[in-house]
Amino acid sequence: MLKVLAIETSCDETSVSIVSNSDDMYKIHSNIVASQIQDHSKWGGVVPEIAARRHLELIPFVLEQALAESKISIEDIDVIASTVAPGLVGCLRVGSITARSLCTLYSKPFLGVHHLEGHLSSILFSKNYPNPPFLTLLVSGGHTELIKVGERREMQRLGRSFDDAAGEAFDKVGRLLGLSYPGGPAIAKIAKKGNASKFNLPKCKISNQEGGYLKYDFSFSGLKTAVLRLIEKINLNGDKIPTSDIAASFERVVAEVLVERTINCAMDKGLENIVVVGGVAANDTLRKMMIREASKKSIKVHLPPQNLCTDNAAMIGAAALFRLKLSPHESSLKLGISGRLPIDQAYTLYEKNPPF
């Protein structure tokens, strides 16, 4: 049984987890997540400098708590992993330096993990995760991508957002409606009281230079602007803002866009399994709609536990364990961090000569 100590500090959650696997079963021994929502809520979004400083303050205590809860000593850990890309550079640096320092101190191998591969790996904690190839919809605050996952973790990006990610759009529309941060949970809560068919908001597309539209790509900036114009028009008329109806209509359109383009992509590529991961994958409307519409096409939908959809170190540990299962992966202790790295270049994190 391999045991991994994993660290995640790519944005505004400080997380440390102890994860193991045996006979293809992935087990979480501890998964401590210290959220910074209160630190950033008054700004309406994550402030990178504040986030990095809080990671530095929190990580010794989160690490200590994770080890204590797991009842596993650091000497018994086999591998130490941390997120190294993509993310906020100052935040990534805190986790990476902590992990590499522990590796040096305790003579442990180091694995640098791609944050998006971590989200992809959250499905490994489900009871019946699919065998590749399958299509993954990764939908979070910073990313909205369609990724084909091959038999040996080859990853091919088939679609992406050209502007706002879906989670980012939730945050911005939440601010327009005067809701609390983060916008996703706030909109989901109030949308339950609203009429999702009240407003006909646009499903924006990306033009193809060769003609027509890019079938698998996303754009949410225009949808956000449409909500802004709708609110301005209602204010101009002196009417009360129907917050719950706007929230429900917005949530419905986002879910419809994600579901329609994901299912079309899976059908065109002949993939029978869809995996949905990332923070927005916790949205109940999206989950139900994806399962309902995919079943009509005989496509199976696989979802991670809702508590593992948002950023956490357990998913980073699962990604490291899966890499070790494929072959004896190890990262150089000279591997740094990067704010940007395409998912299809995740393999470069395990080369002798680090990419950064």
Please tell me the distance from the alpha carbon of residue 219 to that of residue 203, in angstroms, as a whole number: 8
Per residue in 188-219, pLDDT tens? 999 999 999 999 999 999 988 888 899 999 99
pLDDT value, residue 37: 85
CB contact set of 90 (below 8 Å; sequence gap of 6+):
48, 49, 51, 52
State yes or no: pLDDT of 23 exceeds 90: no
Q: What's the CATH fold of domain 2-121+309-350?
A: Nucleotidyltransferase; domain 5 (3.30.420)
- Are 280 and 167 in contact, with CB atoms under 8 Å apart? yes
- Range from 1-10, 36-45, 143-152, 175-184 carrying the lowest mean pLDDT: 36-45
pTM, 2 dp: 0.93
Q: Which residue has the tokens 């230079």?
A: 209
Please tell me the distance from the alpha carbon of residue 185 to that of residue 178, in angstroms, as a whole number: 13
Can you tell me the mean pLDDT for 103-127? 96
Which pLDDT band, with edges at 50, 70 and 90, does 339 fall under?
A: very high
Per residue in 290-327, pLDDT tens? 999 999 999 999 999 999 999 999 999 999 999 998 88
pLDDT value, residue 210: 84
Percentage of the residues of the chain whose pLDDT score is greater than 70: 100
Which residues of the chain are in CATH 3.30.420.40 domains? 2-121+309-350, 127-303
Per residue in 231-271, pLDDT tens? 999 999 999 999 999 999 999 999 999 999 999 999 999 99
CATH superfamily of 127-303: ATPase, nucleotide binding domain (3.30.420.40)
3-state secondary structure the chain: CEEEEEEECCCCEEEEEEEEEECCEEEEEEEEEEECHHHHHCCCCCCHHHHHHHHHHHHHHHHHHHHHHHCCCHHHCCEEEEEEECCCHHHHHHHHHHHHHHHHHHCCCEEEEEHHHHHHHHHHHCCCCCCCCEEEEEECCCCEEEEEECCCCCEEEEEEECCCCHHHHHHHHHHHCCCCCCHHHHHHHHHCCCCCCCCCCCCCCCECCCCCECCCCECCHHHHHHHHHHHHHHHHCCCCCCHHHHHHHHHHHHHHHHHHHHHHHHHHCCCCEEEEECHHHHCHHHHHHHHHHHHCCCCEEECCCHHHCCCCHHHHHHHHHHHHHHCCCCECCCCCCCCCCCHHHHHHHHCCCCCC
